[in-house]
A and B are shown apart, each in its own frame.
Chain A
Amino acid sequence: EADIYQTPRYLVIGTGKKITLECSQTMGHDKMYWYQQDPGMELHLIHYSYGVNSTEKGDLSSESTVSRIRTEHFPLTLESARPSHTSQYLCASSPLRGGETQYFGPGTRLLVL
């Protein structure tokens, strides 16, 4: 069973607030990812990391930032939330070598009013 956790699971917040979505995994995976998914739509990669101190932007333009100070932790920060940020955010991880399967967390549903 994959051990990847996301908090909070649900968040309702006002416009202009700073928020951080947490993602942690206990599998020792080097690679981690953040996806954004609107209802009934495909996932879009917004950030990924190959390991500590590595962060890259994905194919979806995003106003969020990420950091990777520890292997197990990959938080996503929105400095100033807007209604257009309302979506589901999914975190995933995979080993750098020996496997391509990505293991997903349960997601965070964000509503910005």
Chain B
Amino acid sequence: KQEVTQIPAALSVPEGENLVLNCSFTDSAIYNLQWFRQDPGKGLTSLLLIQSSQREQTSGRLNASLDKSSGRSTLYIAASQPGDSATYLCAVRVDSNYQLIWGAGTKLIIKP
């Protein structure tokens, strides 16, 4: 059974730092992996989607990598800003029904 783990559960860093969030999954047979952002009182927003055949995706200051064989993905955030404060979740698609298995998220706080 696929399990998704995100470490650390919480992270607090000063503004301007580059940081890495980690996501690991137990079964490498995935279709894709997505990173989402969740803000309090709001829904989730998709940030990046990496297909199983891809190694990385970039959007602005965000870069996500995927190492399917080792069951790992990282989300790199460059030059962090207070507005980046949120919970970041990763999810893997495991079947043809587009169902996602989710991690519990990393709560990120960027201190001004």
Q: Chain A: residues with CB nearer than 8 A to chain B? A: 2, 4, 31, 40-45, 48, 56, 58-59, 90, 92, 94, 100-107
Contact = CB atoms under 8 A, between A and B. Distances in A.
Interface size class of B (residues with CB under 8 A): 20 to 34
A31 B46 CA distance: 16
A102 B35 CA distance: 11
Interface of B: 4, 9, 32, 34, 41-46, 49, 89, 91, 93, 97-100, 102-105, 107
A42 B102 contact: yes
A82 B49 CA distance: 37
Contacts of A94: 98
Nearest to B41: A106
A44 B98 CA distance: 14
B43 A43 contact: no
A31 B98 contact: yes
A59 B43 CA distance: 21
Contact of B4 (A42, A102, A105): A42
A40 B89 contact: no
Contacts of B42: 106-107
A27 B93 CA distance: 22
Q: Which of B91, B102, B103 has the most CB of A within 10 A?
A: B102
Contact of B49 (A4, A45, A100, A103): A100
Contacts of A92: 43-44
A45 B91 CA distance: 12
